[in-house]
Structure 1
Amino acid sequence: MPRTPDEYAVYILLSSGHREEVRFTTIQDFQKWYSGELMPKANDNNFISVPIKNLQGEYMVIRPSCVAAIRVEPVFAGSVDRY
């Protein structure tokens, strides 16, 4: 039986060489943000908001034109299933 990730770590690699990590609860949440916010404004120099759900009172904005790459990694919090 395949395991289900507890969350997804999304690494945003910027053209300046910086790397930022953001967590999404589901892959659908990431896809919704990616296709609704980031992709339509891919060549834009205006800031867009990046959702940070796990840190209260903090926010992040990026320029979509500065995003060089995105890496998505499933995160499993539990240990190996044992029967």
Structure 2
Amino acid sequence: MPRTPTEFSVHLLLEGGHREEVRFPTIQDFQKWYTSEVAQKSTSGDFVSVPIKNIQGEYMVVRPSKILAIRVEPVFSSSVERFS
């Protein structure tokens, strides 16, 4: 039986080497944000809002033209972090 992720961790690699991580409850939520905010405005220098649902009282804005890479990683509630 395939496991179902509890959320998706999205890693944004920004120009200048900065990295940010935000989490989305479903892959569809990420896809909706990406297509409506990032993909349509990919060359824009205007700020777009990045949803941060797990940190209350904080928000983040980013310029879509400054996003160099995005990595989407499924997170499972049964995941165990291992340090080597």
TM-score when normalising by structure 2: 0.92
User: What are the Cα deviations for residues 18-47 of structure 1, in whole angstroms up to 9, with x where unaligned?
Assistant: 000000000000000000111000000010
Q: Provide the aligned C-alpha RMSD in A.
A: 1.3
2:48 counterpart residue number = 48
Residue 4 of structure 2 is matched in structure 1 by: 4
- Post-superposition Cα deviations, 1:40-59, rounded to whole Å, max 9, x if no partner, equal 00000010000000010000
Query: 4+ residue stretches of structure 1 with deviation over 3 A?
Result: none
What SS is found at the alignment partner of 2:65?
Answer: helix
Q: Percent identity?
A: 67
Q: Which residue of 1 aligns with 2:72?
A: 72
> Which blocks of at least 5 consecutive residues in structure 2 are unaligned?
80-84
Tell me the matched-pair count. Answer: 80
Q: CA shift at 1:15, angstroms?
A: 1.3
Q: Counterparts of 1:62 and 1:74 in 2: how far apart (Å)? A: 23
C-alpha distance in 2, partners of 1:43/1:27? 24
Which residue of structure 2 lines up, in the alignment, with residue 62 of structure 1?
Answer: 62
Deviation track 1:4-29 (CA, whole Å, cap 9, x = no partner) reads 00000000000110000000000000
